[in-house]
Structure 1
């Protein structure tokens, strides 16, 4: 009788020991290939306790505890029987916790356009490494869309890298649930992409552009871009700037939030709040904005055409394109106003560390991306400073160098 009684979810079964527990709404009864002695039954109960603890923690692996369980594949298939589309939907749902809303919306579009369209009804194990590579190769070349019959342009290397991010996320999630599933994105590295260097406007170009903006679209549009060129916030930071962030007495604004896709978020791109000391041109813009927007709402800059806060940084692009065309200035995107602010400060002789802090750059970025503008402002001052510290005058240096 004792051998047939059940104790703590562990039961003798012939010359084996059966372990009973519930997993994902189903009762499982795998067995351990050990004789049901008193010591082994005690050991089996400890195994069951570990299984229950892993189930509660969400890390239970059936194959790890019961590798020869004959119904393992059935239960795994029942638990993991989601299609790729279902796994993608789950990943989007779970990623809402740690991804920005704007980023998640982009990844959701990438999944729908490039991955679920191709693999949506397949089980994850059917999406092999080769299939992913073949699909990427097709996206990287010009081809006909089978549904529309239209010619589809190849994706850029940068876009190919970007669409792989959510795909990797989906398979990382699926592989955690099924340790036997091979991740088909393993070994698919990002393509090398040439990084665009800063392409700022020179001071003369800035004045011509601002004049064109004032003439074609009015002072408020011109002031928006004047602030961008002389204070240098990111576009998402400028449209999110609130009057509560402005200290007119000290001439400082706090950059602590951004606005992307019509949604404000209480952090910048780098998640660091910074103070920006306004130069005379930027401060003059803020003073003019007081009469326009301070009594109308929280935002310093508003769309002059609608009277409402800017939704995103794309809304100004049409005005910008027309202004550059009118001014006969080579086109560069509005984000180059920020690079213009950096380079104007450097060429004026401002300390690069201060410039980096003003614009929310790291010192590494400042010295790597903008170093070529620093010598233009130097005019020999750094060498002169070094020579003074060494107790050497300029006239005495040249003969020594020539003799060397």
Structure 2
């Protein structure tokens, strides 16, 4: 069956061999007009296939086969795969970028017809000039486009990916902006009616967890209130509980005195409360588990768990820093503050700091931290001179 037309029941259709498959498309009901139309069309298709100019979507724009050959179809397939693989927050970000920037431009295009220069022009003219997106956002969008073409190439056994070779340069990464010891003192000494929120930040500054991990910390995770031993097992992101970011992030350690005291004060405030049942997503982003927990840090006014770090930021932190006369930085800087303060002593091993905050290696510590707070650090010159009696 090379190509031609046929009458099937009460319908007339053309058939032809395209991309290794026999394709059949209905022309209409069995009338002489449609039979003549099918005959002419089959001859046109035969000629176009021979010349290499055949465009499926031009002849059969409503064909299911055309819809499955569009960029939008493969984008939808990719997003469906990612929904089962990514954490909810990561999927939400990729889906938003796809719906807002990628699908409106490329969704209806035949994926095979998109070339490298078109993508480059889209990046420069639309993403940069029209939408004025940051380089990091553009890089994320191009990554999604590249993955769509990878999926298409794998499915069709093709080798050329028109998104390959596109490089988006990023600006230098901004250094963390931690609080100094003097600022920490101002923050913790400034009175507030939001006692639990201040305890939360004191705990975060002097233990270095991610804010999402503090929000999900429960009394069931506290090995010893007296000794200040806790275990981080989960986080709260966008209002939902999930396993910690990495396996290394699941960790047990002993708190420093300020964090231990914050924990002990919280025990008097929330340690007696009844547990509530929550759902949390395991690290495979698929398995949903339920657990009854008593959370350590609650909203002072409602005695309910905070929905996310935005609650802390908007309902407490911004106002509290103004009262303390401390330049604003987000709550997430508490983690940077802990690490930089530990490094500034010049006496605490990198491996201890890395393990304590849940980093898998010391590489990030070496590249990022400990180079901007000098006023708080020990005078290493005097220390060295004393050791060697110089």
Matched, 1:224 2:238: no
Equivalent residue in structure 2 for 1:289, among 246, 260, 266:
266
Residue 305 of structure 1 and its aligned partner are, at CA, apart by 4.1
TM-score, length-scaled by structure 1: 0.69
Cα pair 2:223 2:229 within 8 Å, conserved: yes
Which of 328, 335, 349 aligns to 1:351? It is 349
1:342 alignment partner in structure 2: 339
1:246 corresponds in structure 2 to: 222
Structure 2 residues not aligned, in runs of 5+ = 1-20, 24-49, 57-63, 276-292
Task: Give distance in 2, aligned partners of 1:352 and 1:181.
Answer: 45
For 1:377, the equivalent position in structure 2 comes to: 378
Residue range with higher mean Cα deviation, 280-289 or 128-137: 128-137
Task: Tell me the CA shift for residue 175 of structure 1.
Answer: 1.5
Per the alignment, residue 209 of structure 1 pairs with 187
- Kindly state the Cα deviation for residue 278 of structure 1 after the two structures are TM-superposed: 0.4
- Correspondences of 1:174-185 after superposition (within 5 Å): 174-180=152-158, 182-185=160-163
For residues 17-56 of structure 1, what are the structure 2 equivalents within 5 Å? none
Contact 2:231–2:252 under 8 Å retained in 1: yes
Cα distance change, pair 181–365 in 1 and its aligned pair in 2 (3 A): closer
Greater relative contact order: 1 or 2 (C-alpha under 8 angstroms, separation 6 or more)? 2
Deviation at 1:128, TM superposition (A): 2.4
Matched, 1:307 2:303: yes
Q: Which residue of 2 aligns with 1:188?
A: 166
- Structure 1 residues 116-158: Cα deviation after superposition (integer angstroms, max 9, x where no partner): 0211111212332222222221344453xxxxxxxx5x11111
d(CA) in 2 for partners of 1:303, 1:82: 51
- Whole-Å separation in 1 of the counterparts to 2:22 and 2:110: 25
Cα distance change on mapping 1:198 and 1:181 into 2, 3 Å: same
**2:259 pairs with 1:258:** no
- Spell out the pairing of 1:109-188 with structure 2 (5 A cutoff): 109-143=96-130, 152=131, 154-180=132-158, 182-188=160-166
Q: CA deviation at 1:176?
A: 0.9
Question: Which 4+ stretches in 1 moved above 6 angstroms?
Answer: none
Q: Return the offset for 1:315.
A: 2.2
Alpha-carbon separation, structure 2, partners of 1:381 and 1:355: 24
RMSD: 3.0
- 1:187 to partner: Cα distance: 0.8
Compared CA separation, residues 135 and 225, structure 1 to 2 (3 A) = same
- Give the whole-Å Cα distance in 2 for the aligned partners of 1:168 and 1:186: 7
How many residues in Structure 1 have an aligned counterpart in Structure 2? 310
Distance change >3 Å, CA 386–CA 124, structure 1 → 2: farther
Structure number with the higher strand fraction is 2
- Give the C-alpha shift of residue 354 in structure 1: 1.4
Tell me: CA distance 1:87–1:306, structure 2 relative to 1, closer, same or farther (3 Å). Answer: farther
The 2-side partners of 1:78 and 1:93 are apart by 20
Distance 1:305 1:269 in 2: 33
- Give the secondary-structure state (helix, strand or coil) at the position aligned to 2:384: helix
Aligned equivalents of 2:152 and 2:381: distance in 1? 60
Query: Which protein is bigger by CA-based radius of gyration?
Result: 1
Verify the 8 A CA contact 1:254 1:275 in the aligned structure 2. Answer: yes
Once the two structures are superposed, residues 267-309 of structure 1 have per-residue CA deviations (whole angstroms, 9 ceiling, x without a partner) of 3246542223201110111111113323243222223344322
| CA distance, structure 1, for counterparts of residue 151 and residue 304 of structure 2 | 41
CA distance in 1, matches of 2:256, 2:378: 18
8 A Cα contact 1:229 1:338, kept in partner: yes
Indicate the residue corresponding to 1:62 in structure 2: none
Query: Measured at CA, do residues 358 and 192 of structure 1 come closer, stay the same or move farther in structure 2, by a change above 3 Å?
Result: same
Equivalent in the alignment of 2:61: none
